[in-house]
Amino acid sequence: MSDSISRKEVIHVANLARLSLSEEEELTYTGQLAAILDHARDIMALDTAGLMPTAHPLELTNVFRPDVEMPSLDREEVLSQAPASEDGRFLVPRILGEAP
């Protein structure tokens, strides 16, 4: 088995990504992610010294628009598609758990 990603690391990233995995999934994903990361090793050996990273194909600068009021999405229509809403707002379960 490859050492490019461990089962422990897979559990860690799943937690960061707010995903829950079964034990079987932990093993499957560890193997699959390792195979993909192993393939990516071909670029690890490349000499990229002096190259700037490209985050985007366009050379973007800030885009401004005049500060004019424009209509936004219809609140009722948006909330009608929410899992739960109350008094014109999204309704969610409690945000804070018990004090640790």
Partner 1 sequence: MTGSSVGLGACQIAELVKSKQISAVEVTQEHLALNEFYDSALHSFLEITEAAAISTAKEIDAKIAKGEDAGLLAGVPIALKDNLVTRGIATTCASQILKGWKPPYSATVVKKVSGAGGVSLGKTNLDEFAMGSSTENSSFGPTRNPYDLKRVPGGSSGGSAAAVAAKFVPLALGSDTGGSIRQPAALCGIVGVKPTYGTVSRYGLIAFASSLDQVGPLARNVKDAALLLQVIAGHDPKDSTSLVDATPDFVSVIDHGVEGLRVGIIEELVDGVAPMVGEALKASAASLTSQGATVEYVSVPAVAYGLSAYYLIAPAEASSNLARYDGVRYGLRVEGQDMNETYVASRTKGFGAEVKRRIMLGTFALSSGYYDAYYGKAQKVRTMIIGSFKKAYEQFDVLLSPTAPTTAFELGAKAADPLSMYLSDVCTIPTNLAGHPAMSVPYGLGENQMPIGIQVLAPALGEANMFRVAAAIENDAPPISKTLFWE
Q: Rule CB under 8 A: say whether 68 interacts with partner 1.
A: no
90, 81 in Cβ contact below 8 A? no
Instruction: State the nearest-atom distance from the C-beta of 46 to partner 1, in Å.
Output: 6
Closest CA to 30 of 58, 65, 54, 2: 2
Instruction: State the nearest-atom distance from the C-beta of 72 to partner 1, in Å.
Output: 10
Footprint (CB under 8 A) of partner 1, residues 28-67: 29, 32-33, 35-37, 39-44, 46, 48, 51-58, 60, 63, 65
43, 10 in Cβ contact below 8 A? no
The Cβ of residue 21 has, within 10 Å, a number of other Cβ atoms equal to 16
- What tokens were used for 81? 């598609």
Q: Rule CB under 8 A: say whether 2 interacts with partner 1.
A: no
81, 87 in Cβ contact below 8 A? no
Report the interface residues with partner 1, using CB under 8 A: 5, 9-10, 12-14, 16-20, 29, 32-33, 35-37, 39-44, 46, 48, 51-58, 60, 63, 65, 73-74, 77-78, 81-84, 90, 92-97
